[in-house]
Chains A and B, each alone.
Chain A
Amino acid sequence: MIDVTILVNGVPRRVPADLSLAAALWRLGIHRFRTDRDGAPRAPVCGMGTCFECRVEVDGRTGVRSCLLPVREGLRVELPA
């Protein structure tokens, strides 16, 4: 399978093409897609764009549902520390 490089908080990571960004991030061991007000991690739930728990910042746009977005070369995603 062909890989693409995405930038996770500026760090280049190789992931297989054809994955959704949500699946790619989980595959990289990332389980904190966003942080709630109590500092707890949140991650994908519905996988189909309804619940918005997987929303992340992509290429400067906030609130992007990572479960609906296929990875592509050079995609920049910002995640909470």
Chain B
Amino acid sequence: MSAPVLARRLDLVVVGAGPAGLAAADAAAGVGRQVLVLDQAPRPGGQIWRHRPGDVLPVEARTLLDRVRPPRVAVACGASVVDAPGPGQLIVDFGGRLAAVETGAVVLATGATERLLPFPGWTLPGVVGVGGMQALLKAGLPVAGSRIVIAGSGPLPWPVAAALHHEGAVVEEILEQADALAVARFALSLIGRPATLARALRYRAATLGIPYRTGGWVVRAEGTDRVTHAVLRVGGRERRIACDWLATAAGLVPRTELAQLLGCTVHEERIVVDQRQATTVRGVWAAGECTGVAGDRAARVEGTIAGLAAMGVERIPGALFRRRDRERRFGELLAQRFAPRRELRERVTAETILCRCEDVRAGAIDPAWSARQAKLWTRVGMGACQGAVCGLACRTLYGWDTAVPRPPLGQPPLGSWARALGEATPPSATPPSPAPPIP
């Protein structure tokens, strides 16, 4: 993909084209500003609205996708931010061609990724995340006739199971790591959220006949060239079950690598934002799952607030803040009820690979080390993913802080990264001024 034709100076760059990013771009375009939306995926929509041509999307998705497109908004897909050399400057990898982009403001809408925790056999082909399974399915993976075990947490396993079942897969069972009581209390709280409840019931109806068990998790995966069996622990008993795919994760976790690279404060895994979605870094706002997992409704209203705030709109309707706060409380409830159980941390053996990029096994690590010491002595977290996976694992297993990633993010050709850095205006030059406020 080639770089899009851009306005000479952008008012706003939105990173992430999911519900939050699209809403932010829509709001900023609505007050007449020049906006560019970037997303790594081939098409906008984020994970929840990931689609291929011809797929039917919910009405709220269609509406936003219709509004956030050229000429109203510039959209670059297959594009990732690899560096941020100065205020308002981003180095973007447009599908292999790197270019410097200058902007008055940035909205981070980088979404969430899965809480992938290590267990014996988790590196076998066919062992994927729950959302990972869904993403592969939506990317065209054939699953008809495949036997699939889902061991996840929270609401995500339901739509994934429904979609797999619909495509002809045999979903052997759905395991929820949280206990029955936590799930029951969560279900009760849905009475106050009729739309969410309706969604939940729809998914349950679509997956009738698939066993659902709470308080269950994966002990290990077995196989040589790919996964052939999953060993599960449910109700104090271990069971070995044959499968072609094992889709497992302990829920979702905000994606904060870029925020950290920009210097934004991240606390308890979330990008810290104020009432108006501003991060701790001037000129950078954040919205959606990257500020705490709370679902697509929260993401949309936060995106709208962030887009308006980033464009200097002073008077943001109070109703938006009230809706945001209500959705946020739902996010807190999700985090509480589906908190990863202790046993998930106790599965690794000395032989279990912890850092998938650098092949570091748990036995090579002394939990008494600091994250820095571990990096120096084992290269844990220094591979291609920059600790996106093992950093989370180490935080969960050893309580280490997640290391701040270093540029470039991803694996761009280093020569073109250096060239793009050279094109960027030196920091000593005038930084892009923020857009004037709109009363």
Contacts and interface: CB of A to CB of B under 8 A. Distances in A.
Contacts of B125: 31-33, 41-43
Contact of B129 (A18, A41, A47, A64): A47
A76 interface: no
A68 B126 CA distance: 18
Contact of B128 (A41, A47, A49, A52): A47
A19 B389 CA distance: 25
B139 A51 contact: no
A54 to B, nearest CB: 9
Contacts of A62: 411
Contacts, number: 124
A31 B384 contact: no
A68 B129 contact: no
B140 A24 contact: yes
Interface stretch (B40-48, B264-272, B334-342): B40-48
A26 B225 contact: no
Interface string A50-78: 11110100000111110111100000000
Interface residues of B, number: 44
A38 B129 contact: no
A60 to B, nearest CB: 10
B80 to A, nearest CB: 8
A39 B78 CA distance: 31
Contact of A48 (B47, B78, B410): B47
Contacts of A36: 123, 353, 356, 359
B42 A20 contact: yes
Contacts of B410: 63, 65
B385 interface: yes
Interface stretch (B130-138, B148-156, B168-176, B430-438): B130-138
B383 A48 contact: no
Contacts of A20: 42, 136, 139-140
Closest 10 A/B residue pairs (Cβ): A47-B135, A63-B411, A43-B125, A19-B140, A20-B139, A52-B384, A47-B132, A23-B140, A31-B125, A23-B139
20 contacts: A18-B53, A20-B140, A23-B136, A31-B226, A36-B356, A44-B132, A44-B136, A45-B389, A46-B113, A46-B389, A48-B131, A48-B135, A49-B80, A51-B389, A52-B357, A52-B411, A63-B410, A65-B410, A68-B40, A70-B42
